[in-house]
């Protein structure tokens, strides 16, 4: 790292206890505690439109004019939320999630006032509005030009820019003339930078990775993050890095196979396929004969104009599985069990934070704390040599301790052909 710059590991897409499906323990104190343990140095606040959450943010976070807010112990946050847009255009339903960053509480208040003219904000930390994507961007930029909008998890099937449901094939199709205000795209857990760079139309966009976590546990918070190196950490410098790429030095990515929507499949039927296998079957489930949930890998394949062997230059990404998941797989235990926590806590006590353990701590140092076989598994993770059975249709991928483990994953029997298959 350049001694004249600050390295920031940032997770700028999170949620709070006020978002549906999220842990009710996700207050600022717990988020700060686990961000420090993870090794994160900057967090999004999540959910700044929710009336109860913004009250807590204003009580516990201090503004100093930089756009970076601090707790009383000095941990750094940036004002952030995620908005769900569900609307119709060109005769088709659209569902888009957008991460919104704001420079100050005054701007947040104005965003909230605007949203209240379109609906409620009190029922969920990620509220839903019937606003077209291009109109939403235009309106927020009129509130404050410094507001940043980043399309979230851009490939997932149901609520994303390029997902199967929406069928947008370019940023311009979705945001129209307001695409000029889009600079960063979030990869999502089911894709990584290299997959995205197979689509040449995305070359002009800088790619970021964040966790979209629903709990503060270290296998969720920071499971994906973006690394910045800035002379000074302030809101404008951070946004400039997202716009220009200068200062945006890399990402931490989970293995895309780990994502809940990497392959095509049916969770109910226990069926999943690679894009090639799915295509051979016309994307029809061989068990129930209904259309498969089309995953990220297939949509990337559909839009890619570069081969799988394409090796983009200047890609700096660390593909890492969370440490808790590695320990759990090694022990063949649940990720939140006592035996996993005992090893995790021992490692954190010895080496400060998880990213330090995953990326930096020398093998010999690890051997002083844990057994050799687990150390080797951590080293394999560091080298991106972990094998993961792909996730599909809302099911996370499964880490395999060795290649033969996939034989233990049961597959249902396929049914014979049915009438009406051509109707799907």
Asked, for residue 416, whether it belongs to a domain, the answer is no
Tell me what pLDDT residue 404 has: 67
CA dihedral (241, 97, 11, 219) in degrees, to 10, reads -150
Q: What angle do CA 318, 321, 323 make, to 5 degrees?
A: 115
pLDDT tens for each residue of 371-395: 999 999 999 999 999 999 999 999 9
CB 1 within 8 A of CB 250: no
Tell me what pLDDT residue 167 has: 82
Asked whether residue 346 falls in the same domain as residue 242, the answer is no
Q: Which runs of E-coded beta strand occur in 183-316? A: 184-186, 206-208, 225-230, 248-253, 264-266, 271-273
Asked whether residue 211 falls in the same domain as residue 335, the answer is no
Domain count, the chain: 2
282: left (phi over 0), alpha (psi -120 to 50) or beta: left
Tell me what pLDDT residue 314 has: 81
Asked, for residue 293, whether it belongs to a domain, the answer is no
Sequence length of the chain is: 424
Tell me what pLDDT residue 412 has: 56
Asked, for residue 317, whether it belongs to a domain, the answer is no
Task: Residue 179: count other Cβ atoms within 10 Å of its Cβ.
Answer: 17
pLDDT tens for each residue of 186-221: 999 999 999 999 999 999 999 999 999 999 999 999
Tell me what pLDDT residue 403 has: 61
String of DSSP letters for 304-338? --S-TT---TT--EEE---HHHHHHHHHTS-TTSH
Asked whether residue 242 falls in the same domain as residue 343, the answer is no
Tell me what pLDDT residue 242 has: 98
State which residues form the domain around 331.
Answer: 322-385
Asked, for residue 337, whether it belongs to a domain, the answer is yes
Which of 258, 277, 297 is the endpoint of a domain? Answer: 258
Residues of the chain with pLDDT under 70: 1-5, 403-424
Give dist(CA 307, CA 368) in Å, integer. Answer: 44
Asked, for residue 275, whether it belongs to a domain, the answer is no
CB 217 within 8 A of CB 238: no
Asked, for residue 396, whether it belongs to a domain, the answer is no
Which residues fall within 8 angstroms of residue 31, CB to CB, at 6 or more apart? 14, 16, 43, 216, 221
Task: Residue 244: count other Cβ atoms within 10 Å of its Cβ.
Answer: 11
Tell me what pLDDT residue 410 has: 57
Tell me what pLDDT residue 6 has: 86
Give dist(CA 200, CA 192) in Å, integer. Answer: 15
pLDDT tens for each residue of 107-131: 999 999 999 999 999 999 999 999 9
CB 135 within 8 A of CB 174: no
CATH of the domain at 181: 3.20.20.140
């Amino acid at each position: 790292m350049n001694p004249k710059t600050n390295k920031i590991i940032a997770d700028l897409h999170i949620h709070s206890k006020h978002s549906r499906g999220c842990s009710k323990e996700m207050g600022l104190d717990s988020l700060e505690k686990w961000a420090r343990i993870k090794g994160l140095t900057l967090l999004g606040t999540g959910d700044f439109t929710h009336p109860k959450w913004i009250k807590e943010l204003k009580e516990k976070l201090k503004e100093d004019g930089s756009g970076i807010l601090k707790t009383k112990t000095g941990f750094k946050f940036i004002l952030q939320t995620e908005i769900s847009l569900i609307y119709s255009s060109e005769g088709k339903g659209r569902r888009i999630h957008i991460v919104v960053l704001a420079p100050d509480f005054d701007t947040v208040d104005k965003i909230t006032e605007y949203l209240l003219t379109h609906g409620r904000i009190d029922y969920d930390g990620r509220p839903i509005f019937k606003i077209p994507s291009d109109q939403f961007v235009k309106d927020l930029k009129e509130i404050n030009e410094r507001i940043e909008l980043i399309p979230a998890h851009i490939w997932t099937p149901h609520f994303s820019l390029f997902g199967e449901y929406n069928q947008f094939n370019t940023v311009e199709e979705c945001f129209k003339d307001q695409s000029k205000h889009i600079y960063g795209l979030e990869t999502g857990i089911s894709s990584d930078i290299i997959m995205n760079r197979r689509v040449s139309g995305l070359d002009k966009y800088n790619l970021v990775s964040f966790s979209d976590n629903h709990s503060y546990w270290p296998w969720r918070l920071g499971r994906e993050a973006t690394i910045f190196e800035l002379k000074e950490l302030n809101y404008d410098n951070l946004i400039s890095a997202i716009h220009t790429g200068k200062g945006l030095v890399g990402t931490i990515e989970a293995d895309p196979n780990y994502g809940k929507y990497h392959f095509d499949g049916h969770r109910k039927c226990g069926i999943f396929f690679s894009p090639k296998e799915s295509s051979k079957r016309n994307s029809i489930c061989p068990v129930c004969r209904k259309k498969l949930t089309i995953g990220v890998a297939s949509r990337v394949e559909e839009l890619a104009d570069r081969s799988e062997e394409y090796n983009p230059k200047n890609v700096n990404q660390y593909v890492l599985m969370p440490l808790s998941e590695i320990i759990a797989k090694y022990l063949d235990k649940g990720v939140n069990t006592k035996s996993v926590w005992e090893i995790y806590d021992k490692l954190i006590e010895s080496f400060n934070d998880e990213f330090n353990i995953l990326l930096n701590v020398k093998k010999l140092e690890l051997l002083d704390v844990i057994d050799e076989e687990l150390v080797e598994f951590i080293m394999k993770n560091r080298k991106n040599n972990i094998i993961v059975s792909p996730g599909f249709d809302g099911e996370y991928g499964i880490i395999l301790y060795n290649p033969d483990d996939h034989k233990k994953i049961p597959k249902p029997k396929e049914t014979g052909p049915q009438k009406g298959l051509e109707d799907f």
